[in-house]
Amino acid sequence: MIMFKSTQRTDHKKKVVIKLGGSMLGGLNKAFFKELQQLQGSCAITIVHGGGPAINKALAKAAIPTTKINGLRVTTDAAIGIVAETLIGQVNPMLVGELNEAGFMAIGLNGQDANLLHCHYLDKAIYGHVGEVDEVNATVIEQLQTIGIIPVVSCIGTTSTRQLININGDTAASALALALQAEELLFVTDIEGIQINNEVIEKTTEQQINNWITSGDIYGGMIPKVLAAVGCVAAGVPNVKIVGHQLTGTTIHREKVTLS
Ligand SMILES: Nc1ncnc2c1ncn2[C@@H]1O[C@H](COP(=O)(O)OP(=O)(O)O)[C@@H](O)[C@H]1O
Ligand SMILES: CC(=O)N[C@@H](CCC(=O)OP(=O)(O)O)C(=O)O
């Protein structure tokens, strides 16, 4: 049976970018989709996803060793093809399929589509094929949203010589949030926000975050996340949070706040 879905116009809707970390993608459930559905009522949603665990698995299967520096994967000549195949060919269609099954109209994109995420090399000698976003085609995202579609973007970019390039998912999400002038950016991960001494921190600031990175209380994959969050807050995104499946967690503030 063919089903037609009516389109919802998104003009004047609050713009929200949601980054789904690879660490939480295996745990998408009804409660999460319900939260998303509620958000979609009043917001134009853009989803950006990572896929670190799936990439780890694919590289291990191909016997390609992998290392990270400050949470960023050093992406060798041998690794970039597998990274791109995993994100574009496996993780993205799986997520898009789940969203559509849950009743959304989701379309998968990567950074090469319509030059969505144009990048330069971060530092090829150190990181290999890792990109830093320098231009975003926000128009294509906005056009899709006007007809009720949720764009689902995998964090693969393109360079001026049409090379595919690995972008950290958190970095890609913040680039999109800035280009879209989003009102809200949510980093959804497998843990309910920043935790220090086993306690979830409700609100924090750049200065506090830097101290926690120095002390080692924030480490690994949380580092690019907090740096991306802090960068977006500084650039004027009004509401930036690191959250778990229930979309609650830590809010990042620009000014000094009373810590919870
Ligand atoms: N202070 C911290 N609070 C919470 N998580 C932290 C902290 N420091 C490091 N982490 C780690 O960061 C992980 C989230 O980063 P990552 O696995 O890269 O997530 P994602 O796939 O969502 O991007 C958490 O599961 C946790 O192991
Ligand atoms: C450069 C870089 O580190 N790219 C990431 C892209 C995937 C990602 O960010 O996945 P998560 O959201 O699960 O962390 C990587 O290769 O793992």
Annotated ligand binding at 110? The verdict is no
What are 70-92's pLDDT values in tens digits? 889 999 999 999 999 999 999 99
Ligand 2 probe mutation, 59, 73, 156, most atoms within 8 A of CB: 73
- Of the candidates 99, 94, 84, the one whose C-alpha atom is nearest the C-alpha of residue 151 is 99
Residue 89 lies inside a defined structural domain of this protein: yes
Name the CA dihedral angle for 195, 201, 204, 206, rounded to a multiple of 10 degrees. Answer: 0
**Count of helices and strands (H, E) across the chain:** 10, 16
Q: pTM value?
A: 0.93
pLDDT at 71: 87
Q: Model ipTM? A: 0.98
Residue 259 lies inside a defined structural domain of this protein: no
- Residue 226 CA from chain centroid, whole number: 12
Residue 50 lies inside a defined structural domain of this protein: yes
pLDDT at 27: 87
Residue 208 lies inside a defined structural domain of this protein: yes
Dist. CA 160 → ligand 1 center (Å): 32
Residue 127 lies inside a defined structural domain of this protein: yes
pLDDT at 11: 59
Annotated ligand binding at 26? The verdict is no
Dist. CA 150 → ligand 1 center (Å): 26
Do residues 166 and 112 lie in contact, with contact meaning Cβ atoms separated by under 8 Å? no
Dist. CA 195 → ligand 1 center (Å): 9
Write down the H helix ranges in the chain. 22-25, 30-42, 52-61, 77-84, 92-101, 124-127, 138-146, 169-180, 206-215, 222-234
Domain tally for the chain? 1
Residue 207 lies inside a defined structural domain of this protein: yes
What are 49-62's pLDDT values in tens digits? 999 999 999 999 99
pLDDT band at 114 (very low <50, low <70, confident <90, very high): very high
Q: What percent of the chain has pLDDT over 70?
A: 94
Residue 177 lies inside a defined structural domain of this protein: yes
For 208-257, the DSSP string reads: HHHHHHHHTSS-TTHHHHHHHHHHHHHTT-SEEEEE-TTS-EEEEESS--
What range defines the domain where residue 217 resides? 30-253
To which H or E segment does residue 149 belong?
none
Residue 108 has pLDDT above 90, yes or no: yes
What are 1-22's pLDDT values in tens digits? 444 444 455 557 999 999 999 9
Q: Which atom of ligand 2 is nearest to the CA of 189?
A: 12
The CATH number of whichever domain residue 76 belongs to comes to: 3.40.1160.10
Between residues 181 and 10, which one has the greater pLDDT? 181
Ligand 2 pocket: which residues have CB below 6 Å? 21-23, 50-52, 55, 72-73, 83, 130, 155, 166, 168-169, 221
> What is the C-alpha to C-alpha distance for residues 53 and 222, in angstroms, rounded to an integer?
14
pLDDT at 256: 57
Residue 13 lies inside a defined structural domain of this protein: no
State mean pLDDT over 161-170: 97
